[in-house]
Amino acid sequence: MAEITNTYVSEELYKKFGDAILSTDEPYGMLTVVVEVSSITSVVDWLKKHPVINAHFLTDICGTHFPQIPGKELCAIYHMQSMPNNYRIRLKCFVPITKPEVPSLTGLFPSANWMERETYDYYGIQFIGHPNLQRILNVDEMDYFPLRKEFPLEDGSRTDKDDKYFGR
Amino acid sequence: MSKEITIAEMPAGLEGPGFFATSLEKAIGLARANSIWPLPFATSCCGIEFMATMGSNYDLARFGSERISFSPRQADLLIVAGTIAKKMGPVLRQVYLQMAEPRWVISVGACASSGGIFDTYSVLQGIDKVIPVDVYVPGCPPRPEQILDGFMQIQELVKNESLRRRNSNEYKVMLGSYGIQ
Amino acid sequence: MNEFDDKSIEQIEEPEYTTLNLGPTHPATHGIFQNILKMDGEIVVDAEQTVGYIHRAFEKIAERRPYYQITTLTDRLNYCSSPINNMGWHMTVEKLIGVDIPKRAQYMRVIIMELARIADHLVCNAVVGVDTGALTGFTYVFQWREKIYDIFEQVCGARLTTNIGRIGGMERDFNDEAIKKIKEFLRDFPKIFDEFSTLLERNRIFVDRVINTGPITAERALSYGFTGPNLRAAGVDYDVRVINPYSSYDDFDFTIPVGVNGDTYDRFMVRQQEIRESLKIIKQAMDNLPSGNWYADVPEFYLPPKEDVYHNMEALIWHFKIVMGESDVPKGEVYHAVEGGNGELGFYLLSDGGRAPYKLHFRRPCFIYYQAYPEMIKGGMLSDAILTMSSMNVIAGELDA
């Protein structure tokens, strides 16, 4: 099988989805595609079923938070790969923090279930269509999304740490 | 390897032909100290070192702990080895409450003792926030030798504990400070 | 017409199920997981998992710690094979800053990583033995795991949470004692391991117990994101060491064992075989260990030698600056994967050029494949559920991050 190149994949993506592909980039050799939120499932589905690209394996889902980009604060990052072609691709979609809604991939990959729950737990990204979107790692009573940048890392209950010795 | 069999040292007492008298406290202390049944509450890395401690090289069984008790009801010593997250805190407390008196607790490793390197929103900053602890073993993770040393410290405590301690007022006040009746 | 006609009797539609709470602290789960099982007698009908009992917020810590201080976190991911995690992280940073590592360091890393893989697989397989009722294998094999720890101690000073290696190579060369110990291990261990194998591999009782226990098809395994030995047991020959060779894995001659049914026996056998392959790799690496430096020329990241740090002012300042994250890191994002003890351990690193990563995500293989557990145990006996879990090698520290 001919080796799949980033150029080939991005051309195919532009051909198929056009405006839904917001930008492409190749940091450290991995094709990174920023996708319109509404079409993320169709892009993933298309990549999965594409006869040549055949990105049949969902490697990873994670989120991140950019408070400095208004309107695009939260970002869901997907890594997919094709084992037969040894090809990896990264997809991203940005959502505003006021309406952090991303369609769920659980219909396409059962493995997305917990990864999306984890991302929800950390960042509060709502995966629409997820069968059981609850906190997974943190306690259910937690009322904030701890990995958003504004929340502190430290536990507030420590009394032995005197701030004046830590320069805070 | 030495073929000698060492037996526990005799407590102080009166000895004559055919009899030996000592205080009940010392006799019970001796018996308890050499037959501690530990309940390993192993959650993470320290649990693996605890497995090594139980394994054939270090052999915790030499100290009278041949039987690892996984049921809290039959355990004397709670060995908390590993990070206790806030989600786990109530479970740990429950296990402690299920243990019968007299009970002792070892906190193995930095995480169990103080939260260790995980000063984070999800980790309990030391198990002594929810249950009383008798011996802290430092290390991340402690070597099996250190865990053994902690265990021997517990043996010392057990040997010298007064029989009335668990009924004393101070003990009740101490448990009360953890909200345990 | 009889008044006790069949139709008039209310039919009990749903059989009565028992709810059984397995965990969070159960001696047979080897870690902190809770499973609420719905049981029909001794048959598992359904299972609901709760995880997160040792969630330690790794990703949040990683956003606040300089690059060197993250190595200590990776130790505590899959603590059965911490060196693989350490080196995976170092390689991720090396990829970000674009450093080539000398061959000697690469080979040294391979030796350490394969030793760690052996240690990891030994725990898993010994525990499968324990759960089938054979404690002998466990006590026997753990003595030999101690020998691996002795080697790690010689190389880095620690046993379990090794913090081994540096960004840019290894901390120091193998000393004579370490080389002697590795050679002794290579000489003695295969015999011991064969004894362990004869205890279980062809043991009728064991084989009857584990064949067809917790099977999964290759297709389901892929859709659930399986990687590592569990995926290979289902028959997919995917191994990061082969498909994206890192650290000179392409120099070595080894095979990837695959199973057929993806059941407990296959998982056990794949791990057994991988231990043998790892021994082959270590032997090749030891035989062909290149001479030269064990570190790359990256003074920005590679810590100065400890002797200098203690006796030399400049080295001390330099050391301090690196550890506190005063090195320049390029902006960018990388994904680097290594073959960890139980699957593809990936690091997604997003750097904004600051002293700490902007975002660091660990792709933890356990977390992803443990989702399939209810599907694998459904319809089986309760005792098989325990075996399935221990043969999947789910490590709580890695699962909960």
**pLDDT at residue C9 tops 70:** no
User: Looking at the partner chain, which of A57, A59, A114 has a beta carbon nearest the beta carbon of C371?
Assistant: A114
Minimal Cα distance from B55: which residue of C? Answer: C139
Residue C219, token pair as written in the block: 């297709």
CB environment C184-205: b (16+ within 10 A), e (fewer) = ebeeebeeebeebbebbeebee
DSSP 3-state of B173: helix
Question: Is the alpha carbon torsion for C242, C337, A85, A28 positive or negative?
Answer: negative
What is the largest distance, in Å, between two alpha-carbon atoms of chain B? 65
Total beta-carbon pairs less than 8 A apart between chain B and chain C: 87
Minimal Cα distance from C98: which residue of A? Answer: A28
Number of helices (H), then strands (E), in chain B? 6, 6
A28 and C334 within 8 Å at the Cβ level: the answer is yes
Confidence label for C11 from pLDDT (cuts 50, 70 and 90): low
User: Looking at the partner chain, which of B55, B85, B118 has a beta carbon nearest the beta carbon of C142?
Assistant: B55
Chain A contact for C51 (CB, 8 A cutoff): yes
Distance between CA atoms of C73 and C88, rounded to whole angstroms? 12
Distances (CA, A) of C67 to C90, C148, C301, C304, C355: 9, 27, 9, 16, 7
Residues of chain B contacting residue A143, judged by C-beta atoms under 8 Å apart: none
- Residue A104 C-alpha, separation from nearest chain C C-alpha, in angstroms: 15
Distance between CA atoms of B65 and C328, rounded to whole angstroms? 53
A153 and C223 within 8 Å at the Cβ level: the answer is no
A158 and B120 within 8 Å at the Cβ level: the answer is no
> Is A78 among the domain residues?
yes
Q: Is C88 exposed, middle or buried (0-12, 13-18, 19+ CB in 10 A)?
A: buried
Q: Give the CATH number of the domain where residue B110 resides.
A: 3.40.50.12280
Please tell me the predicted confidence (pLDDT) of residue A165. Answer: 66
User: Please, which residues bridge with residue C345 across strands?
Assistant: C338
The secondary structure of residue C17, as a DSSP letter, is -
Chains contacting C (3+ CB pairs below 8 angstroms):
A, B
Chain Cα centroid distance, residue C401: 13
> Count of domains in chain A?
1
Please tell me the predicted confidence (pLDDT) of residue A139. Answer: 86
**pLDDT at residue C355 tops 70:** yes
Find out whether C228 and C221 touch, Cβ atoms under 8 Å. Answer: no
State the average pLDDT over residues C8-26. Answer: 75
**pLDDT at residue C2 tops 60:** no
Please tell me the predicted confidence (pLDDT) of residue C335. Answer: 93
> Is A147 among the domain residues?
no
> Count of domains in chain B?
1
- Mutation test of the interface with chain B: which of A149, A157, A163, A168, choosing the one with the most B Cβ atoms within 10 A? A157
Q: Give the CATH number of the domain where residue A58 resides.
A: 3.30.460.80
Please tell me the predicted confidence (pLDDT) of residue C23. Answer: 75
Q: Say which amino acid occupies C153.
A: E
Q: For residue range C32-62, list pLDDT tens digits in order.
A: 888 899 998 889 999 998 888 888 888 998 9
Distance between CA atoms of B63 and B59, rounded to whole angstroms? 8
> Is B178 among the domain residues?
no
Q: Is B27 exposed, middle or buried (0-12, 13-18, 19+ CB in 10 A)?
A: middle
Domain extent listing, chain C: 49-400
Phi-psi region of B117 (alpha: psi -120 to 50; beta: other; left: phi over 0): alpha
> Is B106 among the domain residues?
yes
Residues of chain A contacting residue B115, judged by C-beta atoms under 8 Å apart: 155, 158
Distance between CA atoms of A54 and A58, rounded to whole angstroms? 11
Q: What is the CA radius of gyration of chain C?
A: 24
Q: For residue range A54-85, list pLDDT tens digits in order.
A: 899 999 999 999 999 888 899 999 999 999 88
> Is B162 among the domain residues?
no
Residues of chain A contacting residue C96, judged by C-beta atoms under 8 Å apart: 28
Q: Is C43 exposed, middle or buried (0-12, 13-18, 19+ CB in 10 A)?
A: middle
User: Looking at the partner chain, which of B55, B83, B95 has a beta carbon nearest the beta carbon of C139?
Assistant: B55
> Is A103 among the domain residues?
yes
Q: What is the CA radius of gyration of chain B?
A: 18
Of chain C, the percentage scoring pLDDT greater than 70 comes to: 96
Distances (CA, A) of A134 to A120, C67, C320: 8, 32, 42
Distance between CA atoms of C357 and C11, rounded to whole angstroms? 62
Task: Identify the residue with better confidence: A142 or C111.
Answer: C111
Please tell me the predicted confidence (pLDDT) of residue A167. Answer: 57
Q: Residue A35's domain spans which residues?
A: 6-131
Residues belonging to chain B = 181
Q: For residue range C70-123, list pLDDT tens digits in order.
A: 998 898 888 888 999 999 999 999 999 999 999 999 999 999 999 999 999 998
Given CATH 1.10.645.10, say whether it is the number of domain C49-400. yes
The angle at the Cα of A35, spanning A136 to A111, to the nearest 5 degrees, equals: 30
Please tell me the predicted confidence (pLDDT) of residue C152. Answer: 92
Residue C227, token pair as written in the block: 């990687």
Whether the ω angle into residue B144 lies within 30 degrees of 0, i.e. cis, is no
C346 and A83 within 8 Å at the Cβ level: the answer is no
Strand order in the sheet with C343-351: C332-340, C343-351, C359-363
Q: Residue B55's domain spans which residues?
A: 26-157
State the SS3 of A58-124: EEEEEEEECCCCCCCCEEEEEEEEECCCCEEEEEEEEECCCCCEEECCCCCCCCHHHHHHHHHHHHC
Element spanning B137, H or E = strand B135-137
Residue A168, token pair as written in the block: 């805070």
Distance between CA atoms of A70 and C363, rounded to whole angstroms? 28
Strands A31-35 and A87-95: parallel
Residues of chain C contacting residue B121, judged by C-beta atoms under 8 Å apart: 57, 60
Distance between CA atoms of C317 and C299, rounded to whole angstroms? 13
Minimal Cα distance from A110: which residue of C? Answer: C224
User: Looking at the partner chain, which of A146, A152, A157 has a beta carbon nearest the beta carbon of B125?
Assistant: A157
Please tell me the predicted confidence (pLDDT) of residue B158. Answer: 92
Whether the ω angle into residue B141 lies within 30 degrees of 0, i.e. cis, is yes
Chain B contact for A138 (CB, 8 A cutoff): yes
Confidence label for C7 from pLDDT (cuts 50, 70 and 90): low
Query: Closest by alpha carbon to B64, among B165, B144, B148?
Result: B148
Distance between CA atoms of C230 and C217, rounded to whole angstroms? 11
Find out whether A28 and C98 touch, Cβ atoms under 8 Å. Answer: no
- Poorest-pLDDT segment among A81-90, C19-28, C210-219: C19-28
Torsion angle, CA of B78/B79/B82/B88, rounded to 10 degrees?
-10
Distances (CA, A) of B65 to B32, B76, C219: 11, 10, 47
- Residue A151 C-alpha, separation from nearest chain B C-alpha, in angstroms: 10
Find out whether B124 and B90 touch, Cβ atoms under 8 Å. Answer: no
> Is A148 among the domain residues?
no
Distance between CA atoms of C72 and C58, rounded to whole angstroms? 11
Q: For residue range A6-51, list pLDDT tens digits in order.
A: 899 999 889 988 888 999 999 888 999 999 999 999 999 999 999 9
The angle at the Cα of C240, spanning C234 to C241, to the nearest 5 degrees, equals: 115
Distance between CA atoms of C389 and C47, rounded to whole angstroms? 13
Q: For residue range C310-336, list pLDDT tens digits in order.
A: 999 999 999 998 888 888 889 999 999
CB environment C248-267: b (16+ within 10 A), e (fewer) = bbebbebebbbbebbbbbbb
Q: For residue range C269-283, list pLDDT tens digits in order.
A: 999 999 999 999 999
Mean pLDDT by 10 residues, chain B (181 residues): 74 89 90 90 86 85 85 90 89 91 91 87 88 92 92 92 88 89 76
Residue C137, token pair as written in the block: 């294998």
Total beta-carbon pairs less than 8 A apart between chain A and chain C: 91
The angle at the Cα of C119, spanning C114 to C120, to the nearest 5 degrees, equals: 95
Minimal Cα distance from B87: which residue of C? Answer: C53
* Mean model confidence pLDDT for chain C: 89
Element spanning B33, H or E = helix B24-33
Residues of chain B contacting residue C25, judged by C-beta atoms under 8 Å apart: 41, 91, 95
Phi-psi region of C57 (alpha: psi -120 to 50; beta: other; left: phi over 0): left
* Own/partner pairs, B27-30, CB within 8 angstroms, 24+ separation: B28/B163, B29/B158, B29/B159, B29/B160, B29/B161, B30/B159
